[in-house]
Structures are given as C-alpha cells and as structure tokens.
Amino acid sequence: MHEQGSFHMRSWTSNAPEVLATLNENGEQTGKSFDNNIDTLPIEKILGRYWDPKSDCFKYVLKFVRLRRNVFADEIVPTKREVLQILMSIFDPLGLAACLTSYLKILIQDIWRSGIDWDQPLVPDLMGKWLAWVACMPIFANISVPRCYSPYITESSCDVQIHTFVDASEFAYAAVSYFRIKDKYGVSTRIVAAKTKVAPMRPMSIPRMELQAAVIGTRLMNTICKVHTFDIKKRFIWSDSKTVLKWLRGDPRQFQQFVMFRIAEIQKASTVEEWRWVPTKLNIADSATKTKQSPEYVQRWVEGPEFLLQDEDKWPTEVDLGPMETSETRAKFLYHRETQPCFNYEYFSSWIKLYRAVANWLLYIGKLKACCGGFNATNVILTVQHIERAKLLIYKSVQQELLEDWSTLKMGRIVERNSPLYRLQNN
C-alpha cells in the first residue's frame, strides 16, 4: 500500500536477526551488524521508550540534555527548578520505575514546603535527601522489563489473572499491577503498570491515605482490563490495611463524606471478594511509598511478589480483620425535648372517660418502656395507681394552662405580688 503511494518505509528494526537480514538485502535497514549470529543491536528509542531488541526488554536511559550544568557533581547544589526539570525528564508513562521516581516526587514536595525560590540552592537538609536520591540513579540502568507478557497469553488454555497491590505511608500512596500467567510451561508474573502520588500538603491520617491508595488501585486495575483484549480470568486487589478492608464490607452511608464517596466508588468498580489482605512485608507497593531504595527492592518490584508463583492455597489469608475503625463513622444525634402533655378536654363527654383515657395512655407508655428493657409486659393491666397518676397529671396540666406565671416561676424568676403563685414562691 505504501509502495503504491511512493512512500518508502525506512528505519525498520526487529529483535529477530532473520528479519533484519532480509531488510538489509532490500536496502531498507542499515547500521545493524551480526557476528556469528550474535547481534550487536543498539538500544532503540520507540515512542519515548528505550527498547533493547536483543533481550526484547524495555530499559531506562537517563539523559538530561537540557540541564545547563552538571548538578550531579558533588560540589554543585541544585535549585528547585533543576530538581523539577530532572523529574520531568524521566519519561515513565506506565510507572514501571515508580519505585524510584516517587522518592524524587517526595523530595520536590519537601522543597516546595520549605518555601525556597525557584533559583535558590537547596538547604543542607534537602541537599542530604538529594544526594540520597542521586545514589539511587545507577539502579535505573538495572531495570529491565520484558516487552512480551507471554507468547501463549492469547491461547484459551492460558490462565491470566491481574493482581493489584496498594499501599500508603505518610509520604505517598501507590498502586502497582501484575499479570499472573499460567501456561503449559509454568507460572510467571509480569509488571503491567503502576501509579504513585505524594501525600497532600495538608496532613491526612494513615487510614485515609490507605483508602486513597485503594481508589487509584481500583482505577488502575479497571483501566488495564479495558485496554487489553485477551481474557483475564480473575482479579485481585491486595492491601495491608485491615481498616480499609473492613470499610469495604460496610455501608458507605455510615461514614464521613470523605470516606463515604471513595468507598462507594470502590464498591461500584470492584467486588468485596476481589479484595485480599497481605502482610506489609509481602506488599510490593510498599516500595513506592518509602524514601530509601536498594537494587534488591527494585528487582522485586519488577519481578513481582514471589508468593504469586505458588498455588492459590498458599497465598496470604486473614479471616479476622479486627474491630471497625470508628474515627470515620458518622455521628448520630438524637434530639430530645421534654414537653408537658396537652389534652383535648372537649373530646371527652365526662370526667371518668377523661381520666381513664389518660390512665390507659400511661399504661401504654409503661409497656413500651418494659419492652425496651427486655421485660415481658403483656400481663400488665390497668390499676388504681394508673388512675391516680392520670388525675394528678390532668390537675398539673390545667394549672399550667390557666396560670400564666407558671413558666416564670419554673425558670426561677420572681412573679408579681398580685399573682396567685406569689405565696408559693415565698414558701
């Protein structure tokens, strides 16, 4: 098609020596050499990502060509502008190196919190954190992520599961997803994508941070499932926060607004059965929330947790999640105001009917109180005591309606001398 339109495709590359050899014969590919079928292909840059055709893996090559000076030298102190420029120069759309870039995001937040100007050098405290991140830069060269999940992933016999790990700390919260692929050759895990965010400037409790991690983990898992066309048999989301797992099993309306909206979003996009508990030591997302890294942590981040390579009955389980965290439970208030009963005397044709109706009302109230206390009140009948209490209640109600100074005396104020209640006040 392109040849008919006189569009000659150039700059082909492949990880197969046979394909490159054919392209060289046609004059469509140059610059590649082979020595005894061992290729010496350089790392190619495709859509901003670095791809090693020999190993068929994505790699990271850090080039800061726009920096005006070498800020990685020991005697040079970088500015806030230069640190931000370095972070924005690391192209990592899938977050495969998020375990290393998250520390730089945390550092930038600390720099912003310190209030220094854009072109002002870092203070000694921040300079120490900067040097700690610079020491981690050689680890980028060791990151190698396979481009292909599995050659057999599209086969019907291949069992593909997605496992998303979420975690949070006081500095950041993160989520990372892996494919667990079980084919005829065994079980393997492949990192798919990751997402990290620093904690907000305003302090937030750890349970809320863990809930934020659960939200971005749910979104990440659903996005991955939508963009992949092969069948994903099962979905799992792992968290080491028993508080969040307990919240997900409850009604969102019983929590404060912050928790309520996020719990509702998670419950809409996932099921309770998809959420699992994992110990903190086995939670792989924990690596992206800390400020210290090592090559062992990064290698574990790329390869995924080891327990996924085992059978499902050997995975971490936790039956008892403990008591519910009540700090985010919405408070319930019962407004109670004492009022005096008001009787419609004109409704009754005689005095006997009036006080017997009030006595039956008092009897009904007594039965309700007995039921609330767990007692059996079915055998309680109307007695003389109910009638006497009813008459006394009617007498008090009539006095309060006819005497205007009753409320004044009840509030402790002095009534006038011509009031009938004046003598009662003196007594």
Each residue of 228-259: pLDDT tens digit? 999 999 999 999 999 999 999 999 999 999 99
Percent of the chain with pLDDT strictly greater than 70: 89
pTM over 0.85: no
Statement: residue 385 has pLDDT above 70: yes
The 3-state DSSP class for residue 142 equals: helix
The pLDDT value recorded for residue 425 is: 59
Q: What is d(CA 250, CA 254) in angstroms, rounded to the nearest whole number? A: 8
**pLDDT value of position 35:** 39
Q: Are 56 and 147 in contact (CB under 8 A)?
A: yes
Q: Tell me: the pLDDT tens digits for 208-219?
A: 999 999 999 999
The larger pLDDT score, comparing residue 396 to residue 423, is at 396
Listed residue (91, 97, 178) closest to 140, CA to CA: 97
Q: Cα(190)–Cα(183) distance, rounded to whole angstroms? A: 13
Separation between Cα atoms, residue 65 and residue 206, nearest integer Å: 39
Contacts 24+ apart (CB under 8 A), 124-132: 127/77, 129/291, 130/78, 130/83, 132/103, 132/291, 132/292
pLDDT band at 39 (very low <50, low <70, confident <90, very high): very low
Percent of the chain exceeding pLDDT 90 equals: 53
- Interatomic CA distance for residues 242 and 58, integer angstroms: 36
Compute the distance between CA of residue 72 and CA of residue 64 in angstroms, rounded to an integer.
11
Half-sphere exposure of 114 (CA within 13 A, CB side): 19
CA distance 65 to 223: 33
CA 137 vs CA 206, 253, 340: distances in Å: 29, 46, 78
For β-strands 144-146 and 234-239, DSSP reports them as unpaired
What is the tens place of the pLDDT at every residue in 62-113? 888 888 899 988 789 999 999 999 999 999 999 999 999 999 999 999 999 9
**Burial bucket for residue 262 (CB in 10 Å: 0-12, 13-18, 19+):** buried
- pLDDT tens digits for 405-423? 666 666 667 767 777 666 6
Task: Considering the chain, tell me which residue range(s) the CATH 3.30.420 domain(s) occupy.
Answer: 80-314
CATH topology of domain 80-314: Nucleotidyltransferase; domain 5 (3.30.420)
| 191 phi, psi to nearest 5 deg | -70, 140
Instruction: Compute the chain's Rg from CA coordinates.
Output: 37
User: How many angstroms separate the CA atoms of 356 and 354, rounded?
Assistant: 6
Distance between CA 53 and CA 43 in Å, rounded?
A: 7
Range 312-325 average pLDDT: 85
